[in-house]
Structure 1
Amino acid sequence: MGCNLRDLATAHPLDLGEFSGQRVAVDVFLNAYQFITSLTGADGKPLSYKGQPVAHLMGFLDRATWMLENGIEPVFIFDGRPHELKMETLAGRRIRKDNANAKWEAAIEAEDMALAKKLGPQTAEYTREMVAQTKRLFDCLGLVWIEAPMEAEGAGAVRCANGEVAAVASQDWDTLLYGSPVMIRNLTSHGRRKFGRMVVAEKIVLAELLENHNITREQLVDLAIMIGTDFHPGIRGIGPKTGLKLIREHGTMEAVAEVKDFEMPEDIETIRGLFHNHPIHPEPLPESTKAGEERLREFLQGEFGFSERRLERALKRLANANHLKSDSQPTLFDF
């Protein structure tokens, strides 16, 4: 999840109409994990059909068609190959997941389904097969998806800065470090209840954050490195508030290191470069097409047992958004 900048950012409740008629980049992996950890069965594992997980498809079908009905065109971005500096972070996540799996298996063996339900989401995996299925769903929906060279939120941020999308929808605060002018949190959870409270999408504007704290983006990146990112664990004893005070007083991480007597990261320029010059593929984003009803039915009902009610709700939203075609029964929208 990268660096937590929540304490420094001002989040504004999102007016969906603000992004009507515009493209918004969506970080696929974080949203996929949201779906497979919330749409679970009695054992805490993702909802499935004949042994195949379907929670990711349910979640993306519902939220993608909801966005289209609200005038927002999602552009889905998948993570690419992680940088070598992130490997330590990923290894730590793997260890935590293995530990959770062992506890979950013990709970199942003890027939403690309440504990299994609680532990299940901690064991969630978004497998390569599930990734491929998600891409097929987007193809059936006529929606654009791309694979980033490295970090999805990084690629989205660069394309937002370039004007190709209006915002980046992600839970990862690193989106701002990569330079996205606008970040949207909770977009795919908007209007849902979580822990008894209604979730509302929030907009965070990078320029506002920088102005409010009287810092530059370069200083924000240095601040984040001191707090801790996916590429560096951070400096012990420095959190967001302390780090902000230090970076405003001394200007750079090097100057702070001199005053506080800590060693600079060996790969500091590489880390800075990952945030300031994150790679993207040179090709422009392709255009979306209309969803194919027959393809959706064959894929979701034929292969994954989706109910008619669930599919009809999605088809109605697509029709309302003028984003649906039927090969066998053309509608007025097709002409």
Structure 2
Amino acid sequence: MGVKIRDLIPETAIKVVELNELRDKAIALDAYNMLYQFLAAIRQPDGTPLMDSNGQITSHLSGLFYRTVNFIESGIKPIYVFDGKPPSLKEKELLNRKKRKEEAEAKYREAVKEARVEEARIYAQMAVRLTDNMVEDGKRLLK
């Protein structure tokens, strides 16, 4: 998180491949990054995430399930990597992100209150928070 691959690897070393070129291969995937993507992208029109009948967020599980099915149907073995605690060097960046999320959350509530649906959706995506329970649910789904 926070490091762009192009900052680490020279442009000439990067090769873009089609999904079908990965058939019969195993690929490593950043699980946290994917869960965040699904939480941000899979939402109702007003910005609220998908939820079960108990009010528990399920957007991340829906995305993880269908992405995994897509890989398997394409003959690709996905290996989800759940990395550990971030290094202390990242603390400042994490604090900045937390502040931006809190600001986005406040703007989301205001947009909802004023029925600005498009803005609400944008701010909801910016305010995404991945909880330990969501991570554990994702791990259980993949087992």
Same fold, TM-score > 0.5, yes or no: yes
Number of the residue aligned with 1:325: none
TM-score relative to the length of structure 2: 0.87
Say whether the 8 Å CA contact 1:45–1:124 is kept in structure 2. Answer: no
SS at structure 1 position matched to 2:118: helix
| Corresponding residue pairs, total | 139
- Quick one: distance in 1 between partners of 2:77 and 2:4? 28
Number of the residue aligned with 1:47: 50
Could you say if the C-alpha distance between residues 15 and 109 of structure 1 is closer, same or farther in structure 2, counting changes exceeding 3 Å?
closer
- Quick one: distance in 1 between partners of 2:45 and 2:139? 28
Aligned-pair Cα RMSD in Å? 1.9
- Quick one: distance in 2 between partners of 1:38 and 1:89? 23
* Pairing partner for 1:24 from 16, 27, 30: 27
Number of the residue aligned with 1:113: 117
* Pairing partner for 2:129 from 122, 125, 135: 125
Alignment of 1:44-123 (within 5 A): 44-50=47-53, 51-123=55-127
Q: Deviations over 1:106-151 (max 9, x none)?
A: 1122222222112110011111111111011001xxxxxxxxxxxx
User: Gapped runs of 5+ residues in structure 2?
Assistant: none
Tell me how far 1:91 sits from its aligned partner: 0.5
More relative contact order in 1 or in 2 (CA 8 Å, sep 6+)? Answer: 2
SS at structure 1 position matched to 2:11: coil
- Quick one: distance in 2 between partners of 1:112 and 1:18? 43
Q: Deviations over 1:276-311 (max 9, x none)?
A: xxxxxxxxxxxxxxxxxxxxxxxxxxxxxxxxxxxx
**Percent of matched pairs sharing the same residue:** 31
- Which residue identity lines up with residue 82 of structure 1 in the other structure? P
- Quick one: distance in 2 between partners of 1:19 and 1:114? 37
Q: Deviations over 1:165-217 (max 9, x none)?
A: xxxxxxxxxxxxxxxxxxxxxxxxxxxxxxxxxxxxxxxxxxxxxxxxxxxxx
- Quick one: distance in 1 between partners of 2:83 and 2:47? 26
User: Gapped runs of 5+ residues in structure 1?
Assistant: 140-335
